[in-house]
Structures are given as structure tokens and as C-alpha cells.
Structure 1
Amino acid sequence: MTSKIELKDMRFYAYHGVAPQETIVGNTFMVDLLLTISADKSLLSDNLKDTINYAEAYETVKQEMSRPSKLLEHIAGRILYALKNRFPQLKALRVKISKLNPPFGGEVYSAAVILEESWHP
């Protein structure tokens, strides 16, 4: 049996972007995660070691969001691989990063990148 753990609307103020002003002024970013693991152990054990610790997942994202990058894809990739390294029990992972009010002269709520990866044992 699989379990999907979702962390939604994690908000970060960071300095990502291609335009020079984005690295100076910064912007608000939202990150969503969908982590898939086997639920077999945690259903029976009721033990945190048998699942994903949400606080540790958040700290991993926070650490990667604090490192400036030009591309949302690059940030999403770093988050994906950092989470996979920290939680080897992951079977699949979906990372969505949204930049709110992107600075390109139009009225757009957000621009987003979604990365999905699955690992088969």
C-alpha cells in the first residue's frame, strides 16, 4: 500500500530569477510537494521513523530555497534530489515551484514549474 504525503503552499521569500533586479529585490515563491512512500510499516507501527518527517522535508526545501538560482527548474531539481537523498524510502516525488507576480509586464498571478520523478525498486 502506498501513502501520499502532501506539503502545500510553503511560502518563501527568495532571490531567484534571470533578471538582475530579481536577485536584488527578490520575490515570493510557493512550493508544493507530493511525496509517495510505502505505508506498510507506518500503518502498523505508528512510528515516525517509518514515514516521512514533515518538518525535515520542510527544512530541506527551505535550505534549497535559500540558495539563489536563475531557473525554477534548477531549484525544483535541487529540491527533488535533496529530498530523495534525505528520504531514500521515497517511491515518487512531485515538486511544484511557483513564482508569484513574475516580472514580465503582464498581469499573471504566478509562473510555475512542476517536476515529477518515480523510482522503482
Structure 2
Amino acid sequence: MDEIRLRGLQFFGYHGVMPEETVTGQRFIVHLNLKIDLKQAGLTDSIKHTVDYAAVYRTVKEVVTGVPRRLIEAVAEDVAKVLLERFLLVEEVTVELEKPGAPIPGIFETVSVLMTRRRH
């Protein structure tokens, strides 16, 4: 199966367990792998045989900047679910959601979850 990859999509959201996270908000970074058969897109040069990257971006933005969730696991699950619902050519989606500003007492680069969901 072929893949479309979108890397480093950044959004400001209000997700977190700590009360201040839902008030002040923070940056979230999303990386996507969309498994899709791209043969027809390659042969026809037609967007109808692939997904519109801008529409994928808007969809992820809608979820990440939308309803606050306590866990980034829930946000990533929502992203995967909505992408599979809206983009019918996508057979599988892998979502990595980073929370670089997680309230952890220590020095670290980022915290992330990685999940894969399939259509069937």
C-alpha cells in the first residue's frame, strides 16, 4: 500500500489533565501516514484518485483545536476516526500526536502517542 505523509502539522489546543492546560492551552504537533492506493492518481494525474492535502490539514486542525480532551490518546483517536470517515480512499491512518509542553517535572523534548487505525 502506498502512503501520503504529512509531517509537523502544528496547532494550538486546550487538551490536558491539569486544569491550567485547559485554560492556557499549548502547542500540539501532528504527523500523519495515510495508507492509500495511489496507482490511479499516478497514472491519471487526477486529484479524484487521491486525497486533498489541504482538506486533510483542515480536518486535523478542526479536531486538535476543537473540543478539549484530557488525554492526547483521545485526541489522536479522534483524528484517526475523523480522517477515516471523511477520506474514503484512505485504508489506514497512523497518527503521531506530540505534546512538547507536557507538564512533566524534568528535561525532555516531547511526549507523544502513536496509533494506527484501519478502515476494516
The bucket for the TM-score relative to the shorter chain is over 0.9
Say which structure is richer in strand.
Answer: 1
Q: Quick one: distance in 2 between partners of 1:13 and 1:92?
A: 26
Name the structure 1 match of 2:5: 6
Structure 2 residue identity aligned to 1:3: D
Q: Quick one: distance in 2 between partners of 1:92 and 1:63?
A: 20
Q: Quick one: distance in 1 between partners of 2:65 and 2:119?
A: 27
TM-score scaled by structure 1? 0.93
SS of the residue aligned with 1:113? Answer: strand
Q: Quick one: distance in 1 between partners of 2:116 and 2:51?
A: 18
Shift in Å at residue 105 of structure 1?
A: 1.1
Q: Which runs of 5+ in 2 are unaligned?
A: none
Structure 1 residue identity aligned to 2:45: D
Percent of residue pairs bearing the same amino acid type:
33
TM-score scaled by structure 2? 0.94
Shift in Å at residue 109 of structure 1?
A: 1.4
Name the structure 1 match of 2:84: 84
Q: Which runs of 5+ in 1 are unaligned?
A: none
Name the structure 1 match of 2:117: 117
Shift in Å at residue 119 of structure 1?
A: 3.5
